[in-house]
Amino acid sequence: MLQPTQAKSSNQEGRILLAMQAIKQGTCQTVQAAAVSYNVPRTTLCNRIHGITSRRDCTPNSRKLTPYEESALVQYILDLDLRGFPLQLQAVQEMADLLLSERGESPTGKNWTTNFIMRCTEIKAKFSRKYDYKRAKCKDPKIIKGWFSLIRNTVAKYGILEQDIYNFNEAGFVIGVIAT
């Protein structure tokens, strides 16, 4: 349900569009006459006729990347996370600054990354936890089953052959063997 201010602005937006149509069709001779007859501000009507979009339809200043660049950045973040390399906030900002520097634009601000994460529902920022000794010594297959399914999915997704998989983890785990 629309809030009262949203309903008022969408009502005014409709009247502005009708006034613009009346000017184009010639039923109103001047901008002033159209503004009075449709009860809209004359300056707003002039701005719309000259191509200035409404504040609601404008891209906010905090969005420095294009929608395509933002979706590519989100896919890059998700892809690295699937591979087991979640990015830090600084790395996301550096990637965005790299995209902007290619276009010759100024870099992002200090709060850009926080706003970007709040805007994108696909990604979240979480603090990493210290690697707990109890987790390292865990023998419960239910707990580490997710890790092995991630490995299985990654191997299947990228077509990795079994002979190309090797293990050099210092923790003492062998891939496929759960007990320590």
pLDDT tens digit string along 85-94? 888 899 999 9
Query: How many CB atoms are closer than 10 A to CB 21?
Result: 13
Q: Is residue 59, in this structure, part of any structural domain at all? A: no
pLDDT at position 68 is 92
Q: Are 147 and 104 in a shared domain? A: no
Cα within 13 Å of Cα(81), Cβ side: 16
Q: What are phi and psi of 174, to 5 degrees?
A: -110, 135
Residue 97 domain boundaries: 67-119
Question: Do 140 and 180 have their domain in common?
Answer: yes
In a domain, 58, yes or no: no
Residue 174 has pLDDT above 70, yes or no: no
User: What distance in Å separates the CA atoms of residue 170 and residue 69, rounded to the nearest whole number?
Assistant: 39
In the chain, the N- to C-terminal Cα span, in Å, equals 57
pTM for the whole structure: 0.49
- Please tell me the total count of domains within the chain: 3
Q: What would the pLDDT profile of 145-173 be if each residue is shown by its tens digit?
A: 888 888 899 999 999 988 888 766 565 55
